[in-house]
């Protein structure tokens, strides 16, 4: 038996209101597994609000957001299998580059050995040619 492939992301009649402002109005969207998708539109049309609802930083006022086939409404950001790069990077200004990159890995429980954190940070920095900063 074959089942239909699960969408990575799905919006079902999603509306988001901030008080009197409707930021997103009745959106339906399917992002197929593995697809690369861009949201295009003028400033204020609701792109960031959609991303924040996928990330779990906002909850829909109406409708459902599904991630990998499961309804994500009410699931906190840290329990979602997604990541978000914010327009404002929210780097720690008192950390150097290496410490900023290491921060997330240092929060993992059970803890990662320091050598493993250093190895992964080194790998990431090498990839973007920021080694040594
Ligand atoms: N936290 C908020 N409180 C009130 N209004 C908001 C908030 N965030 C976004 N909005 C409003 O929702 C609409 C969509 O905003 P946004 O999702 O940031 O659009 P985009 O990313 O496409 O520029 C805009 O009218 C914006 O002013
Ligand atoms: Mg935006």
What DSSP line would sit under 43-65, residue for residue? TTSSHHHHHHHHHTSS--SEEEE
Token reading at 14: 């999603």
Q: C-alpha dihedral over 51, 54, 56, 59, to 10 degrees?
A: 90
Quote the pLDDT of residue 1: 58
Spatial distance between the Cα atoms of 4 and 88, rounded to a whole number of angstroms: 37
How is the beta sheet containing 62-67 ordered, strand by strand?
21-31, 9-18, 62-67, 70-71
71 and 116 both lie in a single domain: no
For residue 28, the number of C-alpha atoms closer than 13 Å in the C-beta half-sphere is 2
Question: 16 alpha carbon to ligand 2 midpoint, in Å?
Answer: 14
pLDDT value at 2 more than 70: no
Task: Specify if 57 maps to a domain.
Answer: yes
Question: 48 alpha carbon to ligand 2 midpoint, in Å?
Answer: 4
Q: What is the mean pLDDT of residues 99-111?
A: 93
Spatial distance between the Cα atoms of 75 and 56, rounded to a whole number of angstroms: 7
Atom of ligand 1 nearest to the CA of 39: 22
Ligand 1 lining (C-beta closer than 6 Å): 18, 21, 23, 41, 43-49
pLDDT value at 3 more than 80: no
Q: C-alpha dihedral over 72, 77, 81, 82, to 10 degrees?
A: 100
30 and 63 both lie in a single domain: yes
Question: 76 alpha carbon to ligand 2 midpoint, in Å?
Answer: 21
Q: Could you please report the per-residue DSSP string of 76-105?
A: -GGGSS-----SS----TTS-HHHHHHHHH
74 and 103 both lie in a single domain: no
Quote the pLDDT of residue 32: 96
103 and 73 both lie in a single domain: no
Question: What's the whole-number average pLDDT of the chain?
Answer: 94
Residue 67 is part of a domain; what is its CATH number?
Answer: 3.40.50.300
101 and 130 both lie in a single domain: yes
Q: Percent of the chain, pLDDT > 90? A: 86
Task: Specify if 16 maps to a domain.
Answer: yes
For residue 116, the number of C-alpha atoms closer than 13 Å in the C-beta half-sphere is 8
| Smallest CA separation from ligand 1 atom 12, residue | 23
């Amino acid at each position: 038996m074959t089942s239909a492939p699960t969408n990575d992301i799905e919006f079902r009649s999603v509306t988001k209101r901030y008080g009197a402002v409707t930021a997103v109005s009745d959106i339906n969207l399917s992002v197929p597994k593995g697809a690369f998708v861009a949201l295009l539109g003028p400033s204020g049309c609701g792109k960031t609000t959609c991303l924040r609802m996928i990330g779990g930083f906002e909850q829909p006022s109406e409708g459902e957001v599904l991630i990998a086939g499961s309804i994500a409404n009410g699931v906190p950001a840290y329990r979602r299998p997604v990541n978000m790069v914010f327009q404002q990077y929210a780097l720690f200004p008192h950390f150097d580059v290496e410490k900023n990159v290491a921060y997330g890995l240092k929060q993992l429980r059970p803890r990662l050995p320091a050598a493993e954190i250093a190895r992964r940070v080194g790998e990431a920095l090498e990839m973007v040619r920021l080694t040594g900063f």
